Amino acid sequence: MNDPIATPRAFSASAPLKGRIAIPGDKSISHRSLMLSALAVGRSRVTGLLEGHDVLATAAAMRAMGAQIERREGGEWVIDGVGVGGLLQPREALDMGNSGTSTRLLMGLVASHPITATFVGDASLSGRPMGRVVDPLSAMGADISASPGGRLPLMVRGLAPAIPLSYRLPMASAQVKSAVLLAGLNTPGITEVIEPVPTRDHSERMLRGFGADLTVDTDSDGTRHIHIRGEAELKPQVIVVPGDPSSAAFFIVAALIVPGSEVTIANVGLNPTRAGLVAVLRAMGGDIEELDRRDVGGEPVADLRVRHSALKGIDVDPAVAPSMIDEFPILFVAAALADGQTTTTGLDELRVKESDRLAVMAAGLRAIGARVEEREDGLIIDGSGGDTLPGGATIAGHLDHRICMSFAVAGLASKAPVTVDDIAPVATSFPNFEALLAELQA
Ligand X SMILES: O=C(O)C1=C[C@@H](OP(=O)(O)O)[C@@H](O)[C@H](O)C1
Binding residues for phosphoenolpyruvate: 27, 100, 128, 175, 357, 402
Taking alpha carbons only, the member of 122, 69, 116, 71 closest to residue 95 is 122
> Can residue 33 be called a binding residue for ligand PEP (CB under 6 A)?
no
First vs last C-alpha separation in the chain: 31
Give the interface segment with ligand PEP, choosing from 99-107, 229-237, 288-296, 312-320 (CB under 6 A): 99-107
Shortest CB 81 distance to ligand PEP, Å: 23
* Closer residue to ligand PEP in complex, CB, 100/230: 100
Which x/- pattern, by CB under 6 A, does the window 288-327 give for ligand X? -------------------------------------xx-
Restricted to residues 150-179, the positions that interact with ligand X (CB under 6 A) are 173-175, 178
Q: Is 219 a catalytic residue?
A: no
CA 30 to chain centre: 10
State which of residues 326, 365, 412, 426 lies at the interface with ligand PEP (CB under 6 A): 326
CA distance 98 to 127: 10
> Can residue 384 be called a binding residue for ligand X (CB under 6 A)?
no
> Can residue 384 be called a binding residue for ligand PEP (CB under 6 A)?
no
State which of residues 17, 24, 25, 28 lies at the interface with ligand X (CB under 6 A): 28
Which x/- pattern, by CB under 6 A, does the window 242-271 give for ligand PEP? ------------------------------
Contacts of 193 (CB under 8 A, 6+ apart): 167, 169, 177, 180, 181, 225, 226
Helix (H) or strand (E) holding 106: helix 100-111
CA distance 346 to 59: 34
Give the interface segment with ligand PEP, choosing from 95-103, 263-271, 301-309, 419-427 (CB under 6 A): 95-103
> Can residue 99 be called a binding residue for ligand PEP (CB under 6 A)?
yes
> Can residue 353 be called a binding residue for ligand PEP (CB under 6 A)?
yes
Contacts of 103 (CB under 8 A, 6+ apart): 96, 119, 121, 125, 130, 152
CA distance 251 to 274: 16
Neighbour-count burial for 303-335, b at 16+ CB within 10 Å, e otherwise: bbbbebbebbbbebeeebbbbbbbbbbbbbbbb
Residues with a catalytic annotation lie at 326
Which residues of the chain form contacts with ligand X (CB under 6 A)? 28, 101, 173-175, 178, 200, 325-326, 349
Which residues of the chain form contacts with ligand PEP (CB under 6 A)? 54, 99-101, 326, 353-354, 402, 429
